[in-house]
Amino acid sequence: MRAIFGLFVSVAIVLATPGLGVATPSAKDELTFEVSLDDRPIGVHRFRIADGGAMRVVESDASFDVKILRVPVYRYRHSNTETWQNGCLKQIDSETDANGTPYAVDLSKTATGYRIVTPHETQTYQGDCLMSFAYWDQRFLRQQRLLNTQTGELIAVEIQSLGESERKIANRTVPVKGFRVLAAPQNVDIKVFYHSVDGRWVALESVLENGRLLRYALTADDRLAAAERISDPPSTQR
């Protein structure tokens, strides 16, 4: 469980254009996901986004507590600051406590690629652009390799389209487009959903290694209601 959680806590959420476009957030934004395990609430994941032209800084904090018969059995805390430039990672500073096991990742851009430092190793990545599991920017769906910001691991992925459907988000039924992110060696199977009208990331789900279902759902905000009005305009009176 602790390994796959890192694929979710590395994300950030902002307004996005439809399709596989570039995210277009407001200058400052703060949004929240409710997180559940087998439909039981376990915590929240909050995001603070500061956008300045080509630069974007995303701060996120996740806090999960899993209980059985009200007895705590799993505790997860994660804080992460990501700096992006022109849609590519520039710097990451993350710390995680996965039920008592600490993780840390320090990523920095270099002249030839990236330097990724964890408590156990330092590795380099040769390439101009590296992305994490950044569900907020649909360009990540074009990538063949993504960074797990909890562990520093580079993961080869396969992306599949799930087509269009409807999902219940914040007590509203909204039209969505879905995609599936697969990574066989790590047993990763993640479904991510975007609002069909404004392209925003609104939900995510994955079956964990122990068979339990983890879900992210965007909490209510004014933009969700606005998108709903656009997707279902009132009929014209005659």
Domain ranges of the chain: 2-231
- Whether residue 213 contacts residue 1, with contact meaning beta carbons closer than 8 Å, is answered with no
Is residue 21 over pLDDT 80?
A: no
Architecture of the domain made up of 2-231: Clam (2.50)
User: Is the entire prediction scored with pTM above 0.85?
Assistant: no
Task: Tell whether the model's pLDDT for residue 8 goes beyond 70.
Answer: no
Q: What average pLDDT score do residues 111-136 get?
A: 93
pLDDT at 47: 82
62: β partners: 45, 78
Q: What is the Cα–Cα distance from 23 to 86, expressed in whole angstroms?
A: 11
Which helix (H) or strand (E) covers residue 186, if one does? none
How does pLDDT run across 180-203, given as a tens digit for each residue?
A: 999 987 888 999 999 999 888 899
> What average pLDDT score do residues 147-175 get?
93
What is the Cα–Cα distance from 201 to 233, expressed in whole angstroms?
A: 22
Give, in order, the Cα–Cα distances in Å from 229 to each of 65, 96, 139, 201.
Answer: 35, 39, 27, 18
